[in-house]
Amino acid sequence: MTPQEQERTARRAATAALVGTAMEWYDFFLFSTAAAIVFNIHFFASDDKVTALLASFGTMAVGFIARPIGGIIFGHLADKAGRKLVLIITVTGIGVATGLIGVLPTFATIGVWAPTLLIVLRIVQGLAVGGEWGSAVTAAVESAPPEKRARYAVMPQVGSPIGTILSSGAFFVIGVLLPPESFEAWGWRIPFLAAIPLLLVALFIRKHLDETPEFQKLIAEGEKESVPFFKLLKEAPLGIIVGFMTTLLGVAGFFVVTTFAVSYGKNFLGLPANLMLAATMIGAVLQIIVMILYGRVGEKIGSARASLIGGLLTMAFAFPMFWLIETKISVLVICGVAAGITSVSLSYAVNGSVITALFKPEYRTSGVSLCSNLAAIVAGFMPMLATLFLGMVDGAWWPAPLMLMTLAAITAIGSVLAPKVSLQIQGYRH
């Protein structure tokens, strides 16, 4: 393959990964936003605000618990049958599950079946997302020239803020167009139903995706493992640990500065929901710009070093972010949320490049998926734990930035260790 052909293949793979992950994260973040705003009203009956929120965030966490299972299942399938097949299956699963949430009856209509069915659909979402990101970032990286892996590995990551913008934007627009009572009664369903046409677009793009050159080489050389996951556990236990550490801030920290921040502002500070959603959208726009630029930084100085810098900067921004939200001044609230989102995005931008270098091609998707989904388990409990701590300290805000600093410190340490356990890939800078 000529360099020009490899560049074209890399761009196609990165575009397919971007569009699919944007749709996947749109669906997944819809649930997170709805959990903070309306699910506690419609699916969990309780007179106590904190109890209802904990139940709502607990349901959200179920999706994150399901993610490692999905990562194992679909990571195995991607390493056995190809990255493309898994990317089609996962985007279909989450799109259908999200659309069904849009027509789900409430607790007032069918009683306990409402939260039960919501949990089932959240599990389907979690299983699909568990296999999505690892396959998408592996496809993007394996299709790229080694010296440009950091650049192309950013593209699946950019799907995350695009999904945030679309999901928060959908709720924001509907919240503006409808009176509050109509939004809470039925308007919240519209963004979930919009997942169906988005699914059709994603399927069309991914159907025309080529299999990655590295996987084609594995097929040609007959090097596919019968059970890639077992070989992963045997050969790369340190890679799994380090990959988990480097992934933690970008995945778990994100939900502290978005889902929990939105809930805290709305339910404890009395700030308008649209203000918090607008802050999230502005932060996500900045996130896209910062991540694309920071991918180039990763090319120049090394992805692991760039990840370390991101962890250190997040530690510095954690307390100022929540202090700005605490002021209740709209401009400062937006600045606080935007700063938090931007800071956690630095490590996340280069994470795909960092963790794909930790694993051999024959079990790479399994390894990448396992790392990201172990971090996702922690992420799923972040809003719930932060809310629980909030209740324990009578509404004081300091536990949340302390949690964020802890996540950042773990990622910083993992970033230092990553080059020591990574594969030596010619042209790639650790």
pLDDT in tens, 344-377: 999 999 999 999 999 998 899 999 999 988 998 8
- Which residues, 6+ apart, have CB-to-CB distance to 246 below 8 Å? 304, 307, 347, 351, 354, 355, 371, 411, 414, 415, 418
Exposed, middle or buried by CB within 10 Å (0-12, 13-18, 19+), for 65? middle
Residue 427 lies in a domain: no
| pLDDT (mean) for 27-31 | 78
Write down the pLDDT at residue 287: 92
Q: Is residue 428 part of a domain?
A: no
Q: Cβ atoms within 10 A of the Cβ of 270, count?
A: 8
Does 429 reside within a domain? no
- The CATH number given to whatever domain includes residue 357 is 1.20.1250.20
CA 186 to chain centre: 27
Question: What is the rounded CA–CA span in Å between residue 38 and residue 302?
Answer: 43
Total domains present in the chain: 1
What are the pLDDT digits (tens) for 289-347?
A: 999 999 999 989 999 999 999 999 999 999 999 999 999 999 999 999 999 999 999 99
Instruction: Give the CA diameter of the chain.
Output: 65
The answer, yes or no, to whether residue 47 has pLDDT greater than 90, is: no
Task: State the Cα–Cα distance between residues 165 and 259, nearest whole angstrom.
Answer: 13
Rounded mean pLDDT, 194-204 = 89
Residue 426 in domain: no
In angstroms, the Cα distances linking 274 to 131, 210, 281 are 32, 41, 10
With a cut of 60, say whether residue 26 has pLDDT above it. Answer: yes
Q: What is the mean pLDDT of residues 174-186?
A: 85
Please check whether residue 312 lies inside any domain of the structure: yes
C-beta separation of 162 from 286 below 8 A: no
**Which residue reads 């991607």 in tokens?**
78
CA–CA gap between residue 68 and residue 83 (Å, rounded): 17
Q: What is the CB neighbour count within 10 angstroms for residue 425?
A: 13
Residue 27 lies inside a defined structural domain of this protein? yes
- When pLDDT is averaged across residues 190-213 and rounded to a whole number, the result is 85
Cβ atoms < 10 Å from Cβ of 362: 19
On whether residue 430 sits in a domain, the answer given is no
Distance CA 201, CA 45 (A): 37
Q: What is the pLDDT of residues 367-417, one digit of tens each?
A: 999 998 899 888 878 888 888 888 788 777 888 999 999 999 999 999 999
Give the CA-trace dihedral at 249, 280, 26, 46, to 10 degrees: 90
Query: Which amino acid is residue 225, in one-letter code?
Result: E
For residue 331, the tally of other CB atoms under 10 A from its CB is 10
Rounded Cα distance between 410 and 47, Å, is: 38
Residues 205, 159, 5, CA angle at the centre, nearest 5°?
50
d(CA 245, CA 241): 6
DSSP state of 105: -
Range of the domain at 161: 3-421
Place 56 in a pLDDT band, splitting at 50, 70 and 90.
low
